[in-house]
Amino acid sequence: MAIDSNPELILESIKSNLRPVIFHLGAVSFFINILVLPVSLYSLQVLDRVMSTGSLSTLFWLTLIMILLFVVAGGLQFLRSLMLQRIGDWIHTTLTTNLLPVALSHAGGNDNSNVQSLRDANALRQFISGPSLTTLMDIPWTVLYLGVLFVIHAWLGFLVTGGIVILFLLAWLNEGLLRQLAKKAGSLQIKGLSDLEFATRNTDVIEAMGMKQKLISRWLNTQAKAVEWQALANSRSAAVQGVTKSVRLILQILVTCISAWLAINGEVTIGAIIASSILASRALAPFEAAISSWKGLTDARAAYNRIQKTLQLTRRQEGISLPSPAGKLSVEGLTYALNNKQLPILRNITFQLEAGECLGIVGHSASGKTTLARLMAGIFAPTSGVVRLDGANVYTWPREEFGRFTGYLPQDVELFSGTIKDNIARLLPDALPEMIVEAAASANAHEMILRLPNGYETDIGTSGMALSAGQRQRIGLARAFFGNPRFLILDEPDANLDGTGKVALIQAIQKAKRAGITTVLISHRSSILQHTDKLLVLKHGTVESFALTRQLMPHASATLAGSA
Protein backbone atom coordinates (compact mmCIF):
# COMPACT_ATOMS: atom_id res chain seq x y z
CA MET A 1 0.00 0.00 0.00
CA ALA A 2 1.48 3.32 -1.07
CA ILE A 3 1.68 6.16 1.42
CA ASP A 4 1.87 9.87 0.68
CA SER A 5 5.34 11.29 1.44
CA ASN A 6 3.86 14.51 2.85
CA PRO A 7 3.62 14.08 6.65
CA GLU A 8 0.62 16.42 6.81
CA LEU A 9 -1.33 14.05 4.55
CA ILE A 10 -0.13 10.81 6.10
CA LEU A 11 -3.29 10.21 8.14
CA GLU A 12 -5.48 10.77 5.09
CA SER A 13 -3.26 8.40 3.12
CA ILE A 14 -3.57 5.74 5.81
CA LYS A 15 -7.36 6.07 5.86
CA SER A 16 -7.50 5.91 2.08
CA ASN A 17 -5.41 2.73 2.02
CA LEU A 18 -7.49 1.17 4.78
CA ARG A 19 -10.91 1.62 3.15
CA PRO A 20 -10.82 -1.68 1.18
CA VAL A 21 -9.40 -3.46 4.24
CA ILE A 22 -12.21 -2.10 6.42
CA PHE A 23 -14.71 -3.42 3.86
CA HIS A 24 -13.20 -6.90 4.18
CA LEU A 25 -13.19 -6.64 7.98
CA GLY A 26 -16.85 -5.66 7.87
CA ALA A 27 -17.60 -8.67 5.69
CA VAL A 28 -15.77 -10.98 8.10
CA SER A 29 -17.66 -9.48 11.05
CA PHE A 30 -20.94 -9.98 9.17
CA PHE A 31 -20.25 -13.68 8.60
CA ILE A 32 -19.09 -14.16 12.19
CA ASN A 33 -22.42 -12.82 13.43
CA ILE A 34 -24.35 -14.79 10.80
CA LEU A 35 -22.67 -18.00 11.97
CA VAL A 36 -23.41 -17.26 15.64
CA LEU A 37 -27.04 -16.41 14.87
CA PRO A 38 -28.14 -20.09 14.48
CA VAL A 39 -27.49 -20.65 18.24
CA SER A 40 -30.94 -19.25 18.95
CA LEU A 41 -32.45 -21.17 16.05
CA TYR A 42 -30.83 -24.35 17.37
CA SER A 43 -32.53 -23.86 20.73
CA LEU A 44 -35.81 -23.15 18.96
CA GLN A 45 -35.57 -26.33 16.85
CA VAL A 46 -34.51 -28.56 19.77
CA LEU A 47 -37.39 -27.46 21.96
CA ASP A 48 -40.06 -27.31 19.27
CA ARG A 49 -39.12 -30.25 17.02
CA VAL A 50 -36.73 -32.62 18.77
CA MET A 51 -38.49 -32.62 22.12
CA SER A 52 -41.92 -33.03 20.51
CA THR A 53 -40.89 -35.80 18.08
CA GLY A 54 -38.12 -37.47 20.08
CA SER A 55 -36.00 -37.66 16.91
CA LEU A 56 -32.41 -38.33 17.95
CA SER A 57 -31.20 -38.19 14.34
CA THR A 58 -32.56 -34.63 14.03
CA LEU A 59 -30.79 -33.73 17.29
CA PHE A 60 -27.54 -35.29 16.01
CA TRP A 61 -27.57 -33.49 12.66
CA LEU A 62 -28.58 -30.14 14.21
CA THR A 63 -25.75 -30.45 16.74
CA LEU A 64 -23.23 -31.47 14.08
CA ILE A 65 -24.22 -28.51 11.90
CA MET A 66 -23.84 -26.16 14.87
CA ILE A 67 -20.38 -27.55 15.70
CA LEU A 68 -19.25 -27.03 12.11
CA LEU A 69 -20.63 -23.47 12.10
CA PHE A 70 -18.80 -22.72 15.35
CA VAL A 71 -15.54 -24.07 13.93
CA VAL A 72 -15.91 -21.77 10.91
CA ALA A 73 -16.88 -18.86 13.18
CA GLY A 74 -13.80 -19.50 15.33
CA GLY A 75 -11.64 -19.49 12.22
CA LEU A 76 -13.15 -16.19 11.12
CA GLN A 77 -12.61 -14.74 14.60
CA PHE A 78 -8.94 -15.73 14.35
CA LEU A 79 -8.73 -14.23 10.85
CA ARG A 80 -10.25 -10.95 12.03
CA SER A 81 -7.89 -10.74 15.01
CA LEU A 82 -4.92 -11.49 12.75
CA MET A 83 -6.02 -8.83 10.26
CA LEU A 84 -6.38 -6.24 13.03
CA GLN A 85 -2.98 -7.19 14.43
CA ARG A 86 -1.37 -6.74 11.00
CA ILE A 87 -3.22 -3.46 10.46
CA GLY A 88 -2.11 -2.18 13.87
CA ASP A 89 1.51 -3.11 13.15
CA TRP A 90 1.38 -1.50 9.70
CA ILE A 91 -0.15 1.73 11.02
CA HIS A 92 2.40 1.85 13.84
CA THR A 93 5.32 1.37 11.46
CA THR A 94 3.95 3.93 8.99
CA LEU A 95 3.27 6.52 11.69
CA THR A 96 6.57 6.14 13.50
CA THR A 97 8.47 6.31 10.21
CA ASN A 98 6.89 9.72 9.59
CA LEU A 99 6.67 10.90 13.21
CA LEU A 100 10.27 10.24 14.16
CA PRO A 101 11.86 12.76 11.74
CA VAL A 102 9.30 15.39 12.78
CA ALA A 103 9.78 14.66 16.49
CA LEU A 104 13.58 14.82 16.18
CA SER A 105 13.39 18.07 14.22
CA HIS A 106 11.14 19.75 16.81
CA ALA A 107 12.44 18.24 20.04
CA GLY A 108 14.31 21.28 21.26
CA GLY A 109 13.77 22.73 24.70
CA ASN A 110 11.80 20.96 27.39
CA ASP A 111 8.70 20.27 25.32
CA ASN A 112 8.22 16.50 25.18
CA SER A 113 4.94 16.56 23.22
CA ASN A 114 6.48 15.42 19.94
CA VAL A 115 8.18 12.43 21.55
CA GLN A 116 4.81 11.68 23.17
CA SER A 117 3.38 11.21 19.69
CA LEU A 118 5.58 8.12 19.31
CA ARG A 119 3.95 6.66 22.41
CA ASP A 120 0.59 7.62 20.93
CA ALA A 121 1.37 5.60 17.80
CA ASN A 122 1.92 2.57 20.02
CA ALA A 123 -1.33 3.29 21.88
CA LEU A 124 -3.20 3.32 18.56
CA ARG A 125 -1.67 -0.03 17.64
CA GLN A 126 -2.77 -1.54 20.96
CA PHE A 127 -6.31 -0.20 20.52
CA ILE A 128 -6.62 -1.51 16.96
CA SER A 129 -5.28 -4.96 17.78
CA GLY A 130 -7.09 -5.19 21.14
CA PRO A 131 -10.60 -6.42 22.03
CA SER A 132 -12.22 -2.98 22.16
CA LEU A 133 -12.28 -2.50 18.39
CA THR A 134 -13.73 -5.97 17.71
CA THR A 135 -16.55 -5.14 20.12
CA LEU A 136 -17.30 -1.93 18.24
CA MET A 137 -17.19 -3.79 14.93
CA ASP A 138 -19.95 -6.13 16.09
CA ILE A 139 -22.38 -3.29 16.89
CA PRO A 140 -23.70 -2.71 13.31
CA TRP A 141 -24.63 -6.38 13.01
CA THR A 142 -27.01 -6.33 15.96
CA VAL A 143 -29.59 -5.55 13.29
CA LEU A 144 -29.44 -9.28 12.39
CA TYR A 145 -30.54 -10.31 15.88
CA LEU A 146 -33.18 -7.60 15.99
CA GLY A 147 -34.54 -8.79 12.67
CA VAL A 148 -35.01 -12.34 13.95
CA LEU A 149 -36.61 -11.00 17.15
CA PHE A 150 -39.12 -9.06 15.07
CA VAL A 151 -39.84 -12.26 13.14
CA ILE A 152 -40.52 -14.13 16.38
CA HIS A 153 -42.75 -11.31 17.66
CA ALA A 154 -42.87 -7.55 17.12
CA TRP A 155 -43.16 -6.83 20.86
CA LEU A 156 -39.83 -8.55 21.51
CA GLY A 157 -38.18 -6.62 18.67
CA PHE A 158 -39.45 -3.27 19.94
CA LEU A 159 -38.46 -4.09 23.54
CA VAL A 160 -34.86 -4.93 22.63
CA THR A 161 -34.67 -1.96 20.23
CA GLY A 162 -35.74 0.30 23.09
CA GLY A 163 -33.09 -1.31 25.29
CA ILE A 164 -30.41 -0.66 22.68
CA VAL A 165 -31.46 3.00 22.54
CA ILE A 166 -31.13 3.23 26.33
CA LEU A 167 -27.69 1.57 26.28
CA PHE A 168 -26.60 3.87 23.46
CA LEU A 169 -27.68 6.91 25.48
CA LEU A 170 -25.76 5.58 28.47
CA ALA A 171 -22.68 5.14 26.27
CA TRP A 172 -23.07 8.70 25.02
CA LEU A 173 -23.44 9.94 28.61
CA ASN A 174 -20.35 7.97 29.62
CA GLU A 175 -18.34 9.53 26.80
CA GLY A 176 -19.46 13.01 27.78
CA LEU A 177 -18.54 12.43 31.41
CA LEU A 178 -15.13 11.00 30.55
CA ARG A 179 -13.91 13.24 27.73
CA GLN A 180 -12.70 16.31 29.64
CA LEU A 181 -11.65 14.36 32.73
CA ALA A 182 -9.55 11.93 30.70
CA LYS A 183 -8.04 14.84 28.76
CA LYS A 184 -6.98 16.61 31.96
CA ALA A 185 -5.59 13.42 33.48
CA GLY A 186 -3.70 12.58 30.28
CA SER A 187 -2.16 16.06 30.03
CA LEU A 188 -0.94 15.90 33.63
CA GLN A 189 0.50 12.42 33.13
CA ILE A 190 2.38 13.57 30.02
CA LYS A 191 3.68 16.63 31.90
CA GLY A 192 4.84 14.47 34.79
CA LEU A 193 6.66 12.10 32.45
CA SER A 194 8.27 15.02 30.62
CA ASP A 195 9.45 16.54 33.93
CA LEU A 196 10.84 13.19 35.02
CA GLU A 197 12.78 12.69 31.78
CA PHE A 198 14.15 16.22 32.04
CA ALA A 199 15.22 15.58 35.64
CA THR A 200 17.09 12.39 34.73
CA ARG A 201 19.13 14.35 32.20
CA ASN A 202 20.16 16.87 34.86
CA THR A 203 20.99 14.68 37.84
CA ASP A 204 24.29 16.50 38.46
CA VAL A 205 22.52 19.84 38.93
CA ILE A 206 19.87 18.21 41.11
CA GLU A 207 22.42 16.51 43.36
CA ALA A 208 24.75 19.50 43.58
CA MET A 209 22.05 21.96 44.64
CA GLY A 210 19.94 19.67 46.79
CA MET A 211 16.87 19.81 44.54
CA LYS A 212 15.98 16.11 44.69
CA GLN A 213 13.24 16.27 47.32
CA LYS A 214 11.73 19.39 45.75
CA LEU A 215 11.58 17.69 42.35
CA ILE A 216 10.11 14.54 43.88
CA SER A 217 7.46 16.60 45.67
CA ARG A 218 6.68 18.49 42.48
CA TRP A 219 6.37 15.26 40.47
CA LEU A 220 4.24 13.59 43.14
CA ASN A 221 1.97 16.65 43.21
CA THR A 222 1.50 16.47 39.44
CA GLN A 223 0.83 12.74 39.62
CA ALA A 224 -1.61 13.21 42.49
CA LYS A 225 -3.62 15.67 40.40
CA ALA A 226 -3.57 13.28 37.46
CA VAL A 227 -4.71 10.41 39.70
CA GLU A 228 -7.43 12.63 41.14
CA TRP A 229 -8.84 13.45 37.71
CA GLN A 230 -8.49 9.84 36.58
CA ALA A 231 -10.18 8.58 39.75
CA LEU A 232 -13.08 10.96 39.18
CA ALA A 233 -13.36 9.75 35.59
CA ASN A 234 -13.23 6.12 36.70
CA SER A 235 -15.86 6.60 39.41
CA ARG A 236 -18.27 8.23 36.97
CA SER A 237 -17.60 5.55 34.40
CA ALA A 238 -18.12 2.84 37.03
CA ALA A 239 -21.46 4.40 37.95
CA VAL A 240 -22.58 4.41 34.31
CA GLN A 241 -21.37 0.83 33.87
CA GLY A 242 -23.32 -0.21 36.97
CA VAL A 243 -26.51 1.33 35.59
CA THR A 244 -25.80 -0.28 32.22
CA LYS A 245 -25.40 -3.69 33.80
CA SER A 246 -28.68 -3.30 35.66
CA VAL A 247 -30.51 -2.13 32.53
CA ARG A 248 -29.19 -5.04 30.52
CA LEU A 249 -30.17 -7.63 33.13
CA ILE A 250 -33.61 -6.08 33.50
CA LEU A 251 -34.08 -6.15 29.72
CA GLN A 252 -32.98 -9.81 29.66
CA ILE A 253 -35.58 -10.68 32.31
CA LEU A 254 -38.28 -8.66 30.53
CA VAL A 255 -37.56 -10.48 27.25
CA THR A 256 -37.93 -13.84 28.99
CA CYS A 257 -41.04 -12.65 30.81
CA ILE A 258 -42.80 -11.28 27.74
CA SER A 259 -41.85 -14.23 25.54
CA ALA A 260 -43.19 -16.59 28.23
CA TRP A 261 -46.42 -14.57 28.44
CA LEU A 262 -46.70 -14.71 24.64
CA ALA A 263 -46.09 -18.48 24.73
CA ILE A 264 -48.82 -18.91 27.37
CA ASN A 265 -51.19 -17.04 25.08
CA GLY A 266 -50.17 -19.21 22.15
CA GLU A 267 -48.56 -16.38 20.12
CA VAL A 268 -45.09 -17.96 20.14
CA THR A 269 -43.76 -21.45 20.79
CA ILE A 270 -41.96 -22.63 23.94
CA GLY A 271 -38.68 -22.71 22.03
CA ALA A 272 -39.09 -19.02 21.28
CA ILE A 273 -38.55 -18.23 24.99
CA ILE A 274 -34.97 -19.55 24.95
CA ALA A 275 -34.32 -18.27 21.42
CA SER A 276 -35.50 -14.76 22.30
CA SER A 277 -33.31 -14.69 25.42
CA ILE A 278 -30.23 -15.67 23.38
CA LEU A 279 -31.00 -13.19 20.61
CA ALA A 280 -31.56 -10.36 23.10
CA SER A 281 -28.29 -11.20 24.84
CA ARG A 282 -26.37 -11.11 21.57
CA ALA A 283 -28.03 -7.86 20.49
CA LEU A 284 -27.35 -6.06 23.79
CA ALA A 285 -23.87 -7.43 24.54
CA PRO A 286 -21.86 -5.20 22.14
CA PHE A 287 -23.46 -2.04 23.54
CA GLU A 288 -22.74 -3.04 27.12
CA ALA A 289 -19.16 -3.96 26.22
CA ALA A 290 -18.76 -0.70 24.30
CA ILE A 291 -19.29 1.30 27.49
CA SER A 292 -16.52 -0.56 29.29
CA SER A 293 -14.33 -0.13 26.19
CA TRP A 294 -15.13 3.56 25.84
CA LYS A 295 -12.04 4.69 27.76
CA GLY A 296 -9.86 2.87 25.25
CA LEU A 297 -11.70 4.58 22.41
CA THR A 298 -11.37 7.98 24.12
CA ASP A 299 -7.64 7.46 24.71
CA ALA A 300 -7.16 6.32 21.10
CA ARG A 301 -8.97 9.41 19.81
CA ALA A 302 -6.81 11.68 22.00
CA ALA A 303 -3.69 9.89 20.72
CA TYR A 304 -4.88 10.34 17.13
CA ASN A 305 -5.43 14.08 17.70
CA ARG A 306 -1.94 14.49 19.18
CA ILE A 307 -0.41 12.60 16.27
CA GLN A 308 -2.33 14.79 13.83
CA LYS A 309 -1.03 17.92 15.59
CA THR A 310 2.56 16.65 15.44
CA LEU A 311 2.32 15.81 11.74
CA GLN A 312 1.09 19.34 11.03
CA LEU A 313 4.34 20.81 12.35
CA THR A 314 6.45 22.53 9.74
CA ARG A 315 8.87 20.10 8.16
CA ARG A 316 11.82 21.32 6.19
CA GLN A 317 11.50 21.17 2.42
CA GLU A 318 14.79 19.73 1.25
CA GLY A 319 16.30 20.73 -2.08
CA ILE A 320 18.19 18.72 -4.68
CA SER A 321 21.52 16.97 -4.16
CA LEU A 322 24.51 19.29 -4.28
CA PRO A 323 28.25 18.69 -4.68
CA SER A 324 30.72 19.03 -1.85
CA PRO A 325 31.11 22.75 -1.03
CA ALA A 326 34.36 24.68 -1.05
CA GLY A 327 33.23 26.36 2.18
CA LYS A 328 32.27 29.95 1.35
CA LEU A 329 29.80 31.08 4.04
CA SER A 330 27.33 33.92 3.57
CA VAL A 331 24.92 35.05 6.31
CA GLU A 332 22.38 37.47 4.86
CA GLY A 333 19.99 39.54 6.96
CA LEU A 334 19.50 36.72 9.48
CA THR A 335 16.72 37.21 12.02
CA TYR A 336 15.35 34.59 14.41
CA ALA A 337 12.52 34.71 16.94
CA LEU A 338 10.92 31.83 18.83
CA ASN A 339 7.47 31.04 17.42
CA ASN A 340 7.68 34.30 15.43
CA LYS A 341 6.06 36.03 18.43
CA GLN A 342 8.73 36.99 20.96
CA LEU A 343 11.39 39.62 20.52
CA PRO A 344 13.99 38.32 18.06
CA ILE A 345 16.99 36.54 19.54
CA LEU A 346 18.99 37.61 16.48
CA ARG A 347 18.32 40.62 14.27
CA ASN A 348 19.65 41.32 10.81
CA ILE A 349 22.94 39.40 11.12
CA THR A 350 25.07 39.80 8.00
CA PHE A 351 28.65 38.71 7.31
CA GLN A 352 30.72 36.56 4.92
CA LEU A 353 33.59 34.12 5.17
CA GLU A 354 35.77 32.90 2.36
CA ALA A 355 36.45 29.20 2.06
CA GLY A 356 39.01 28.04 4.61
CA GLU A 357 38.71 31.08 6.91
CA CYS A 358 38.30 30.70 10.66
CA LEU A 359 35.77 32.94 12.44
CA GLY A 360 35.62 33.54 16.17
CA ILE A 361 32.27 34.60 17.66
CA VAL A 362 32.17 36.36 21.03
CA GLY A 363 29.48 38.07 23.01
CA HIS A 364 27.92 38.39 26.43
CA SER A 365 25.60 35.70 27.75
CA ALA A 366 22.25 35.54 25.88
CA SER A 367 23.65 37.55 22.97
CA GLY A 368 22.57 34.81 20.54
CA LYS A 369 25.85 32.98 19.89
CA THR A 370 24.49 29.43 20.20
CA THR A 371 21.34 30.31 18.25
CA LEU A 372 23.53 31.66 15.44
CA ALA A 373 25.55 28.42 15.47
CA ARG A 374 22.37 26.36 15.14
CA LEU A 375 21.14 28.50 12.28
CA MET A 376 24.45 28.13 10.47
CA ALA A 377 24.18 24.36 10.96
CA GLY A 378 20.70 24.40 9.41
CA ILE A 379 19.08 23.12 12.61
CA PHE A 380 16.60 26.00 12.88
CA ALA A 381 14.72 27.79 10.13
CA PRO A 382 15.37 31.55 10.19
CA THR A 383 12.45 33.87 10.78
CA SER A 384 13.88 35.89 7.94
CA GLY A 385 17.16 36.01 6.05
CA VAL A 386 19.26 33.04 4.99
CA VAL A 387 22.52 31.24 5.66
CA ARG A 388 24.28 30.07 2.50
CA LEU A 389 27.19 27.71 1.99
CA ASP A 390 28.62 28.08 -1.50
CA GLY A 391 25.40 29.91 -2.39
CA ALA A 392 23.06 27.12 -1.22
CA ASN A 393 20.56 27.55 1.64
CA VAL A 394 21.86 25.38 4.50
CA TYR A 395 18.35 24.79 5.88
CA THR A 396 16.99 23.27 2.67
CA TRP A 397 20.16 21.31 1.94
CA PRO A 398 19.35 17.56 2.22
CA ARG A 399 20.32 16.67 5.78
CA GLU A 400 22.21 13.47 5.04
CA GLU A 401 24.34 15.21 2.41
CA PHE A 402 24.86 18.39 4.44
CA GLY A 403 25.99 16.26 7.38
CA ARG A 404 28.74 14.67 5.29
CA PHE A 405 30.21 18.10 4.58
CA THR A 406 29.69 19.58 8.05
CA GLY A 407 31.10 19.04 11.53
CA TYR A 408 29.14 20.37 14.50
CA LEU A 409 30.14 20.40 18.16
CA PRO A 410 27.30 21.69 20.36
CA GLN A 411 27.81 23.53 23.61
CA ASP A 412 26.51 20.57 25.63
CA VAL A 413 28.07 17.43 24.19
CA GLU A 414 25.99 14.25 24.52
CA LEU A 415 27.18 10.99 23.02
CA PHE A 416 25.12 7.99 21.95
CA SER A 417 25.27 4.68 23.76
CA GLY A 418 27.76 2.30 22.18
CA THR A 419 31.48 2.44 21.53
CA ILE A 420 33.80 5.37 20.91
CA LYS A 421 34.19 4.06 17.37
CA ASP A 422 30.42 4.23 16.81
CA ASN A 423 30.22 7.81 18.08
CA ILE A 424 33.12 9.16 16.06
CA ALA A 425 31.71 7.47 12.94
CA ARG A 426 28.33 9.17 13.54
CA LEU A 427 26.68 5.72 13.90
CA LEU A 428 27.74 4.78 10.36
CA PRO A 429 27.88 0.95 10.55
CA ASP A 430 30.39 0.42 7.73
CA ALA A 431 32.74 3.32 8.44
CA LEU A 432 36.35 2.61 7.48
CA PRO A 433 38.66 2.29 10.51
CA GLU A 434 41.22 4.61 8.91
CA MET A 435 38.56 7.36 8.60
CA ILE A 436 37.73 7.00 12.32
CA VAL A 437 41.38 7.16 13.33
CA GLU A 438 41.94 10.12 10.99
CA ALA A 439 39.07 12.04 12.59
CA ALA A 440 40.43 11.32 16.07
CA ALA A 441 43.90 12.38 14.98
CA SER A 442 42.51 15.61 13.51
CA ALA A 443 40.95 16.37 16.89
CA ASN A 444 44.18 15.31 18.66
CA ALA A 445 42.19 12.68 20.56
CA HIS A 446 43.85 9.54 19.14
CA GLU A 447 46.34 9.03 21.97
CA MET A 448 43.71 9.76 24.61
CA ILE A 449 41.43 7.09 23.09
CA LEU A 450 44.22 4.51 22.96
CA ARG A 451 44.78 4.95 26.71
CA LEU A 452 41.17 3.89 27.42
CA PRO A 453 40.55 0.23 28.48
CA ASN A 454 39.49 -1.00 25.03
CA GLY A 455 40.64 1.88 22.87
CA TYR A 456 38.18 2.65 20.10
CA GLU A 457 36.04 -0.33 21.14
CA THR A 458 35.46 1.12 24.63
CA ASP A 459 31.77 1.05 25.52
CA ILE A 460 30.96 4.51 26.85
CA GLY A 461 27.57 3.63 28.40
CA THR A 462 24.36 5.62 28.19
CA SER A 463 25.03 9.22 27.04
CA GLY A 464 28.77 8.59 27.43
CA MET A 465 28.57 8.55 31.21
CA ALA A 466 31.60 6.24 31.39
CA LEU A 467 33.74 9.17 30.21
CA SER A 468 34.64 12.44 31.87
CA ALA A 469 33.16 15.70 30.55
CA GLY A 470 36.49 16.59 28.95
CA GLN A 471 36.78 13.19 27.27
CA ARG A 472 33.23 13.51 25.91
CA GLN A 473 34.11 16.93 24.53
CA ARG A 474 37.17 15.59 22.73
CA ILE A 475 35.23 12.60 21.33
CA GLY A 476 32.58 15.08 20.16
CA LEU A 477 35.29 17.11 18.45
CA ALA A 478 36.59 13.97 16.71
CA ARG A 479 33.02 13.24 15.58
CA ALA A 480 32.86 16.75 14.10
CA PHE A 481 36.05 16.05 12.10
CA PHE A 482 34.81 12.70 10.77
CA GLY A 483 34.54 12.45 6.99
CA ASN A 484 36.83 15.41 6.15
CA PRO A 485 34.15 18.13 6.50
CA ARG A 486 34.40 21.42 4.64
CA PHE A 487 32.52 23.39 7.30
CA LEU A 488 33.11 23.21 11.07
CA ILE A 489 30.95 24.79 13.78
CA LEU A 490 32.40 24.55 17.29
CA ASP A 491 30.31 25.97 20.14
CA GLU A 492 32.41 26.46 23.29
CA PRO A 493 34.70 23.51 22.43
CA ASP A 494 37.00 24.31 25.36
CA ALA A 495 34.26 24.40 28.02
CA ASN A 496 35.29 21.18 29.80
CA LEU A 497 38.91 20.85 28.74
CA ASP A 498 41.98 20.82 30.97
CA GLY A 499 45.29 22.32 29.93
CA THR A 500 46.22 19.30 27.80
CA GLY A 501 42.81 19.33 26.15
CA LYS A 502 43.05 23.03 25.31
CA VAL A 503 46.45 22.52 23.68
CA ALA A 504 44.95 19.66 21.66
CA LEU A 505 42.03 21.90 20.65
CA ILE A 506 44.33 24.68 19.43
CA GLN A 507 46.29 22.13 17.39
CA ALA A 508 43.00 20.83 15.93
CA ILE A 509 41.97 24.36 14.91
CA GLN A 510 45.33 24.91 13.25
CA LYS A 511 44.96 21.60 11.38
CA ALA A 512 41.53 22.66 10.17
CA LYS A 513 42.95 25.93 8.87
CA ARG A 514 45.77 24.15 7.06
CA ALA A 515 43.21 21.75 5.53
CA GLY A 516 41.20 24.71 4.21
CA ILE A 517 38.15 23.92 6.36
CA THR A 518 35.87 26.89 6.97
CA THR A 519 35.57 27.04 10.76
CA VAL A 520 33.26 28.93 13.09
CA LEU A 521 34.43 28.96 16.69
CA ILE A 522 32.42 30.27 19.65
CA SER A 523 34.59 30.97 22.66
CA HIS A 524 35.43 33.57 25.27
CA ARG A 525 39.12 32.69 25.64
CA SER A 526 41.58 34.94 23.90
CA SER A 527 44.13 32.09 23.87
CA ILE A 528 41.75 30.19 21.57
CA LEU A 529 40.38 33.12 19.59
CA GLN A 530 43.80 34.47 18.62
CA HIS A 531 44.09 31.55 16.19
CA THR A 532 41.06 32.73 14.20
CA ASP A 533 41.19 34.94 11.09
CA LYS A 534 38.16 37.10 11.85
CA LEU A 535 36.07 38.05 14.87
CA LEU A 536 32.33 38.68 15.12
CA VAL A 537 31.13 40.44 18.25
CA LEU A 538 27.43 40.01 19.11
CA LYS A 539 25.55 42.32 21.44
CA HIS A 540 21.85 41.89 22.25
CA GLY A 541 21.36 39.78 19.12
CA THR A 542 22.96 42.21 16.67
CA VAL A 543 26.42 42.55 15.13
CA GLU A 544 28.41 45.03 17.17
CA SER A 545 31.57 44.58 15.13
CA PHE A 546 33.07 42.29 12.51
CA ALA A 547 36.69 42.55 11.42
CA LEU A 548 40.04 40.79 11.21
CA THR A 549 41.07 39.22 14.51
CA ARG A 550 44.34 41.13 14.71
CA GLN A 551 42.41 44.39 14.33
CA LEU A 552 39.54 43.60 16.67
CA MET A 553 41.17 41.51 19.42
CA PRO A 554 42.73 44.47 21.30
CA HIS A 555 39.28 46.12 21.49
CA ALA A 556 37.32 42.95 22.36
CA SER A 557 38.80 42.45 25.84
CA ALA A 558 35.72 43.90 27.61
CA THR A 559 33.39 41.60 25.69
CA LEU A 560 35.62 38.59 26.39
CA ALA A 561 35.74 39.43 30.07
CA GLY A 562 31.94 39.79 30.20
CA SER A 563 31.31 36.51 28.42
CA ALA A 564 33.71 34.51 30.59
Residue 489's pLDDT is what? 93
Query: Nearest Cα to 159, choosing from 252, 244, 41?
Result: 252
**Taking each helix axis from N to C terminus, what angle separates 38-45 and 10-36, rounded to the nearest 10 degrees?**
10
Domain ranges, ordered by start, for the chain: 7-311, 329-563
Residue 110's pLDDT is what? 42
Give the total residue count for the chain.
564
DSSP state of 125: H
Strands (E) located in 365-474: 384-389, 392-393, 406-409
Query: Which CATH class, in words, describes the domain spanning 7-311?
Result: mainly alpha
Residue 198's pLDDT is what? 65
Which stretches of the chain score pLDDT less than 50? 1-5, 107-111, 564
Residue 320's pLDDT is what? 75
Q: Which amino acid appears at position 333 of this protein?
A: G
Homologous superfamily assigned to 329-563: P-loop containing nucleotide triphosphate hydrolases (3.40.50.300)
Residue 227's pLDDT is what? 78
Residue 134's pLDDT is what? 82
Exposure string for 58-84, b = 16+ CB within 10 A, e = fewer: ebeebeeebeebeeebeebbeebeeeb
d(CA 113, CA 407): 29
Residue 7's pLDDT is what? 55
The pTM for the full model equals 0.64
